[in-house]
Amino acid sequence: MQAIHIFRPGTHTDAAGQTTDFSEAQVRACADAYDPSLHEAPIVVGHPSDNAPAYGWIGQLAFSDNGLQAEPQQVDTDFEALVKEGRYKKVSASFYTPESPGNPVPGVYYLRHVGFLGAQLPALKGLKPVSFNEQEEGVLEFSAPYDTLTIASVFRQLREFLIDKFSREEADEVIASWAIDELEHSARQEESTDASILPAFSEPNPPECTEDNGMTQEELEQKHAELAEREASLAAKESSFSERETAITASEAAIARQSISAELDTLVQKGKLLPAHKDQMVAFMASLDTEKGVVSFGEGEQ
């Protein structure tokens, strides 16, 4: 079965609003630490916190240029058919934190489960039960919100209310029109990338070679060696670029949060924003920038 791309290094915000920086080394360690004999991560629907059916299991984790690749095994045939039909278009990963009491390998992030999201749970046959009775402390669940357009609509309506109640200038100080535009643009980008990241459960068909290329075995081996050398060089360059990109992204995110915090301090001083709401607003506004270009990991939970 084809591997599923479930996560990648970078700065991410989990379903509870907690922002965490994941280095390439941490994500690699997560893949290396995965051991089904200690804890075999189930394939589930959503992010269950109690008894829930398992639709399959993750047999192996691997790290690639794109991040974590999960290899599904023992997938329920009915569920597999639903995935192929596009009923579950999003994938979301849940991890134990290094210090979590339930982590089977303390000191590293460990995959807890992989959630498929995007449709209501259908009546499926032959499902295997799985129980999550470990302590919930130290669990990170990553799922990009699927209702981003709805959120943008709510903020636009709130902005219109502020304009009617006060003035356009005062509304701009609380919710700028450009911020809502960015949110809508981000949502449309997420939708446009969905088709390219759909999880699949079928092996790609390799092209068959039916023609004789006329090369000797020695020449073929030399060509293969040259190709392997070029691929290794390219992989090293891509890895270096990815590390620099991650560092730049983290720096930009920190600067953006500082700028947003300063702007919101002004609103707090003017009495237009409650101090208790400041941190939540900083996290939300910062996420509008940090999630650009980030592959969606799943749908938001209700």
- pLDDT, tens digit, for every residue of 174-192? 888 888 888 777 766 655 5
Residues 252-277, mean pLDDT to the nearest whole number: 83
Do 50 and 72 belong together in one domain? Answer: yes
Could you list the residue range(s) of the whole structural domain that residue 115 is in? 4-142
Please identify, among 118, 142, 166, the residue that sits at the C-terminal boundary of a domain.
142
Residue 43 bridge partners (DSSP): 56, 114
CB contact at 8 A, 280 and 17: yes
Range with the largest mean pLDDT of 63-72, 144-153, 252-261:
63-72
Whether residue 224 lies inside any domain: the answer is yes
Closest CA to 28 of 68, 58, 55, 59: 68
pLDDT of residue 275: 85
Output the pLDDT for position 139: 63
Please tell me which residue, 55 or 272, carries the higher pLDDT value.
Answer: 55
User: For residues 83 and 88, what is the distance between their CA atoms, to the nearest angstrom?
Assistant: 5
Taking 80 as the threshold, does the pLDDT of residue 196 lie above it? no
The answer on 128 and 153 residing in a single domain is no
**Torsion from C-alpha of 13, 91, 32, 20, nearest 10 degrees:** 0
The count of other CB atoms within 10 Å of the CB of residue 103 is: 22
Give yes or no: residues 222 and 274 share one domain: yes
Does some domain include residue 300? no
* pLDDT of 126 above 50: no
Q: Is the pLDDT of residue 293 over 80?
A: no
Residue 62 belongs to a domain: yes
Same domain, 259 and 165: yes
Q: In which band, very low, low, confident or very high, does the pLDDT at 59 lie, cut at 50, 70 and 90?
A: very high
**56-64/19-22 β-pairing:** unpaired
Reading the block at residue 80, the tokens are: 């597999």
Instruction: Select from 96, 121, 142 the last residue of a domain.
Output: 142
In a domain, 245, yes or no: yes
Same domain assignment for residues 172 and 104: no
Q: Are 288 and 49 in contact (CB under 8 A)?
A: no
Comparing 31-35, 141-145, 280-284, the range with the smallest average pLDDT is: 141-145
Of residues 106 and 133, more confidently modeled:
106
- Tell me: do 179 and 240 sit in the same domain: yes
How many whole angstroms separate alpha carbon 50 and alpha carbon 39? 16
Q: Among 20-29, 38-47, 273-282, which stretch is predicted with the lowest mean pLDDT?
A: 273-282
User: Between residues 209 and 298, which one has the greater pLDDT?
Assistant: 209
Residue 48 and residue 9 in one domain: yes
Tens digit of each residue's pLDDT (9 = 90 or more) over 102-112? 899 999 999 99
Q: What is the pLDDT of residue 133?
A: 33
Has residue 71 got a pLDDT over 60?
yes
Of 142, 161, 178, the last residue of a domain is 142
Residue bearing tokens 């989990």: 14
Q: Kindly report, residue by residue over 135-189, the tens digit of the pLDDT.
A: 345 666 665 444 566 677 777 878 888 888 888 888 888 888 888 888 777 766 6
> Is residue 286, in this structure, part of any structural domain at all?
yes
Residues 249 and 193 both lie in one domain: yes
Q: Looking at the structure, do residues 100 and 122 belong to the same domain, yes or no?
A: yes
In a domain? residue 298: no
Q: Is the pLDDT of residue 276 over 60?
A: yes
| pLDDT at 39 (0 to 100) | 93
For residue 302, being part of any structural domain is answered with no
Is 102 a domain residue?
yes
**φ and ψ of 272, to 5 deg:** -95, -5
Q: Are residues 105 and 163 in the same domain?
A: no
Are the beta carbons of 116 and 80 closer than 8 angstroms?
Answer: no
Tell whether the model's pLDDT for residue 299 goes beyond 80.
no
pLDDT more than 70, % of the chain? 72
Burial of 55 from C-beta contacts in 10 A (0-12 / 13-18 / 19+): buried
**Whether residues 34 and 129 fall in one domain:** yes
Q: Identity (one letter) of the amino acid at 120?
A: Q
Q: What is the 3-state secondary structure (H, E, C) of the chain?
A: CCCEEEECCEEEECCCCCEEEECHHHHHHHHHHCCCCCCCCEEEECCCCCCEEECEEEEEEEEECCEEEEEEECCCHHHHHHHHCCCCCEEEEEEECCCCCCCCCCCCCEEEEEEEECCCCCCCCCCEEECCCCCCCCEEEECCCCCHHHHHHHHHHHHHHHHHHCCHHHHHHHCCHHHHHHHHHHHHHHHHHHHHHCCCCCCCCCCCCCCCCCCCHHHHHHHHHHHHHHHHHHHHHHHHHHHHHHHHHHHHHHHHHHHHHHHHHHHHHCCCCCHHHHHHHHHHHHHHHHCCCCCCCCCCCC
Query: In terms of domains, do 155 and 258 share one?
Result: yes
Q: For 209-217, what is the mean pLDDT?
A: 60
Q: Structurally, how many domains does the chain consist of?
A: 2
